[in-house]
Amino acid sequence: MAALSMAFGIATGALEADQAALNIVSNNVANANTPGYTREVAVFQENDPVTIDGQSYGDGVGIPANVSQRDNVLNQELQQQNQNVSASAARLSALDQVQTVFNQATNANSSSSTDATNGISQDLSNFFDSLTSLESNPSDPSLREGVLSSATTLASDFQSASSQLTAQQSALDQQTASVVSQINSLSQSIAQLNQEIQSRSPHADAGTLEDQRQQDILQLSSLVGVHQIQTENNGLSITTSSGALLVSQNTSYALTAGPLNGSTHVYDSEGNDITSSLTSGGGQIGGVLTARNQDIPQILSALDTLAYDFGTQVNTVNEAGSDVNGNTGTAIFNLPSTAAGASAAISVALTSPSQIAAAAAGQGSSNDTNLLAMANLASKTVIAGSTPTDYYSSFVASLGTLVSDVTTQNTAQQASLTQLQSQVNSLSAVDLNEEAASLETFEQSYEAASRIFTTLDLVMTSALNLGVQTTYSS
């Protein structure tokens, strides 16, 4: 009778184990489309055998453990690549907006009259063309007005380009503060999940809680480059790529954003300025800061050099001649004392077309010697070894190359991220075909255990009936 009782126990345990496994499969199927869900599998383990009179007897199976199919190393690789993709994507987005400021350079073949006629490149050509036209009749007021008008348009477009670039820097400033706020929110969430995981499952996979934590870390890596360190009791510590602490166990450490020298800087929980390290650290904030602190300043610097060197050369020539009234020429353009900020500050200084010094010093109003020298600046290498239009063309081409390089980089990183995500999915995502196969296996196992239970029940009934015939039906 004791043997029958043991057999009943084994059959009952088998039914309970198979039912638990079926529940795990059902949960997988229910969460097949849940973002971040990690597939669980039933891991069976036999019970310790029972020893009777020196003989060991199997005692069936225990309730299976549900083990999440996750690879922490692979997940960390996914996070690393995710932060790279986010950094290049954020930088590319900013550069695309920068490129629109100089859109006429990339639309030279466009049928649009706006693209064909507007922009600094065309303004430079128009200015030198107006000087050439004035050579035919240096004293003609309308031709002189044409020179002044083209100079005004050129200065205005310099100012407009500079203003748009500065506005984009301001927008990136605001974006930086917004990203810092998102980083802090996710850090708090991860710290809370750490606490729950450590209290509920300090020595084993925490299932759904770990899925949530993993999703938060992945989102965090899209915002900022991170490193994670496994701690005791299934906890995590998270830092930025450069080592600024964000999460330690169940405590989060907030970053702060504040103004410094006219731009938003980022500080760690101890007040250290970590803006520079975040710039090269990956994540959206890395791309934003790279565009704000490196790309746009370089573009502005090149634009300032063009405005300053061009304006200075034109002023020098005009100051060397005499105007229509025989007065010594004055500067055509207002400029700052250095190239810094020249594109924002340049403006036309002349108040009358008559002040254009077409003639050489001491010559009459019909003389065009000085005007010719000014027009010849179009072919002179007066700006960093290039002519004004060549310098601008090279500058715009460099911008286009930078955008192309970052685009290529982002495309390659996206391909790598997709490959890594596929690897993660092959291990962790729910495959309905696999679940269907598992479902069939556990159903058959459950049915088999049920039949054993039925048979044992019949045997027990026969034993209790003491010889009364009992019918068995399979």
Look at 45-49, 113-117, 146-150 and tell me which has the smallest mean pLDDT: 113-117
Tens digits of residue pLDDT in 182-231: 999 999 999 999 999 999 888 888 888 999 999 999 999 999 999 999 88
Nearest to 43 by CA among 60, 61, 70: 61
- Mean pLDDT for the stretch of residues 104-131: 65
Q: Is the pTM of this model over 0.75?
A: yes
Condensed to tens digits (0 to 9), the pLDDT of residues 256-311 reads 999 999 899 999 999 999 999 999 999 999 999 999 999 999 999 999 999 999 99
Which amino acid does the sequence have at 66?
Answer: N
Percentage above 70 pLDDT, the chain: 93
| Closest listed residue to residue 123, CA positions, set 310, 334, 296, 301 | 310
Res 117 pLDDT > 60: no
Q: Where are the domains of the chain?
A: 2-69+430-465, 76-419
- For residues 72-98, average pLDDT: 94
- Mean pLDDT (whole number) for 45-66: 77
Note the pLDDT tens digit of each residue in 410-457.
999 999 999 999 999 989 889 899 889 988 888 888 888 788 777 877
Is the pLDDT at 313 greater than 90? The verdict is: yes
The token pair at 235 is 């906890």
**For 319-329, what is each residue's pLDDT tens digit?**
999 999 899 99
How confident is the model at residue 301, as a pLDDT? 96
- 183/239 Cα distance (integer angstroms): 11
| pLDDT at position 68 | 83
pLDDT at 355 over 60: yes
Q: What are 240's two structure tokens?
A: 């930025």
Mean pLDDT, rounded, for 49-59: 75
Residues 95-108, mean pLDDT to the nearest whole number: 73
Token duo for residue 330:
């004055």
pLDDT at 152: 96
Find, among 352, 310, 357, 349, the residue nearest to 331 by Cα. 349
Rounded CA separation 330/320 (Å) = 8
Quickly state the pLDDT bin for 464 (edges 50, 70, 90): low
